[in-house]
């Protein structure tokens, strides 16, 4: 049986094997392992042994989304994006490329206390943004390096309220 997507786990010695993959096409191998950065490898058509894949140490980014009183905001949306994630997505091809574009921007909702966390990221510069209903968007840039856990406090500020009246040409209120 031939399949378009397959997944496997590595053995204790790091060996992995994907079974029943198509012979007549190139493949994109996406490697995810706790503590290591996401890795993408293009595998040429007909190649059955990719050799040793060296995984880079992963980075982590955590933090807390708070209001002006430093109270945690639950269910806020925190997004991170980076060129290193975008370049991984660009390395992929065809149908796999669409699934990898999800890795170009990571999104997470904050917990009850306003906490968020991202792990197994490639080292590099990241654009962090937070979105909370009723508040202006927050943006910042952080640099992630292996073996250093980054923690960011994102504080939202009250936004400006714009009000006015809608009337027709006769001055009657428009609902």
Question: Distance between CA 90 and CA 45 in Å, rounded?
Answer: 19
91 DSSP assignment: H
What are the pLDDT digits (tens) for 11-54? 999 999 888 877 777 777 878 788 888 777 777 777 788 888 88
> Which tokens is 112 given?
């009850």
How confident is the prediction for the chain on average, in pLDDT? 81
Question: Which of the two residues, 100 and 10, has the higher pLDDT score?
Answer: 10
The number of beta carbons lying within 10 Å of the beta carbon of residue 85 is 23
* Least confident span in 10-14, 40-44, 74-78, 127-131: 40-44
Question: What pLDDT sits at residue 41?
Answer: 76
Question: Distance between CA 124 and CA 143 in Å, rounded?
Answer: 6
pTM as predicted: 0.65
Instruction: Answer yes or no: are the C-beta atoms of 143 and 125 closer than 8 Å.
Output: yes
């Amino acid at each position: 049986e031939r399949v378009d997507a397959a997944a496997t786990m590595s053995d204790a010695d790091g060996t992995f094997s994907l079974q029943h993959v198509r012979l007549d096409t190139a493949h994109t191998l996406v490697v995810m392992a706790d503590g290591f950065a996401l890795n993408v490898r293009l595998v040429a058509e007909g190649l059955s042994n990719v050799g040793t894949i060296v995984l880079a140490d992963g980075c982590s980014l955590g933090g807390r989304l708070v209001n002006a009183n430093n109270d945690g905001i639950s269910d806020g949306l925190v997004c991170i994006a980076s060129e290193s994630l975008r370049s991984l997505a660009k390395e992929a091809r065809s149908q796999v490329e669409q699934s990898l574009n999800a890795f170009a921007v990571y999104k997470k909702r904050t917990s009850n206390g306003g906490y968020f966390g991202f792990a197994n990221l490639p080292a590099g510069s990241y654009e962090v943004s937070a979105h909370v209903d009723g508040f202006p968007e927050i943006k910042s840039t952080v640099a992630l390096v292996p073996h250093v856990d980054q923690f960011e406090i994102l504080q939202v500020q009250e936004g400006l309220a714009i009000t006015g009246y809608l009337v027709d040409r006769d001055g009657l209120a428009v609902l």
